[in-house]
């Protein structure tokens, strides 16, 4: 199985400041046939279902604010929230869907400083 | 608007069984692969099972292989998860979720992330 490791486990950021979450996979999730990274980011708030933010490592899902961006390739990925808003408080997960079983990182809790 | 509604959760004794259902609406259910994902109390997300859009292929996490069975009835727009030999560590909120794009099947499993999720149903395994 591909192991996904996120860092940090938690971070506190001031409103309007940048939040950065890293995700590392134990093997590449870049598919050479289509040159796509099979990597997604989800936002999960208590009492709600997870919400898909980013897929193919950097494609923003429809309706997701442009302060959310994804980058990286191969084994190293980053989710950036450019200007943290109060409604962004949540746990964020990366997930690879390149190889079954699809696996999630352990999650990163984002809070307001 | 896509709608997924899970049901069937509850309290069950260790070794017992439950069947979860997920009623889908507002999309062509028979064209989409479907997943079950769970979250144990205080833990992260764990993928449980996937079923191809036509039901012809199924995948399971090692932790549930041989105990859980995913199935679907495309005529009823409903996804199921039959859970047998339940253990305390199966206690979790169970979410159903759909593949982001239709007709996906790659490398023996799903090609896509899950774009819509239900609200979840709580399963508690306790004596």
User: Does any CB of chain B come closer than 8 Å to the CB of residue A30?
Assistant: no
Could you read off the pLDDT of A22-74 as tens digits, one per residue? 999 999 999 999 999 999 999 999 999 999 999 999 999 999 999 999 999 99
A60 to chain B: which residues are within 8 Å by CB? none
Interchain CB distance below 8 Å, B59 and A100 = yes
Interchain CB distance below 8 Å, B47 and A104 = yes
What's the CA gap between B13 and A94, in Å, rounded?
33
Q: How far is B47 from chain A (nearest CA, A)?
A: 7
Residue A100 · residue A1 · CB < 8 Å: no
Report the pLDDT value the prediction gives residue A92, as an integer from 0 to 100: 98
What's the CA gap between A46 and A90, in Å, rounded?
8
Running along chain B, 127 residues long, what does each successive block of 10 average in pLDDT? Answer: 97 98 98 97 97 96 98 98 98 97 86 96 97
| Residue-by-residue DSSP string for B3-50 | EEEEE--EEE-TT--EEEEEEEESS-GGGS-EEEEEE-TT--EEEEEE
Report the pLDDT value the prediction gives residue B111, as an integer from 0 to 100: 87
Interchain CB distance below 8 Å, A101 and B47 = yes
């Amino acid at each position: 199985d591909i192991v996904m490791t996120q860092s940090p486990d938690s971070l506190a950021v001031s409103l309007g400041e940048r939040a950065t979450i890293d995700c590392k996979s134990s093997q590449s999730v870049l598919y050479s046939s289509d040159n796509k990274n099979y990597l997604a980011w989800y936002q999960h708030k208590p009492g709600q279902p997870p919400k898909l933010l980013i897929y193919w490592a950097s494609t923003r899902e429809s309706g997701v604010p442009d302060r959310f961006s994804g980058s990286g390739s191969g084994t190293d990925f980053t989710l950036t929230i450019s200007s943290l808003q109060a409604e962004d408080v949540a746990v964020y997960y990366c997930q690879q869907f390149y190889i079954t079983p699809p696996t999630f990182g352990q999650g990163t809790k984002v809070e307001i400083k | 608007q896509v709608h997924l509604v899970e049901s069937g959760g509850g309290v069950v004794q260790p070794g017992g069984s439950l069947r979860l259902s997920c009623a889908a609406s507002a999309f062509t259910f028979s064209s989409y692969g479907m997943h079950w994902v769970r979250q144990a109390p205080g833990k992260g997300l764990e993928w449980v099972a996937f079923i191809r859009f036509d039901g012809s292929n199924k995948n399971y996490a090692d932790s549930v292989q041989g105990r859980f069975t995913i199935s679907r009835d495309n005529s009823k727009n409903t996804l199921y998860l039959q859970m047998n030999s339940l253990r305390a560590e199966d206690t979790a909120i169970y979410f159903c979720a759909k593949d982001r794009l239709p007709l996906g099947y790659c490398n023996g499993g799903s090609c896509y992330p899950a774009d819509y999720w239900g609200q979840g149903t709580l399963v508690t395994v306790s004596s």
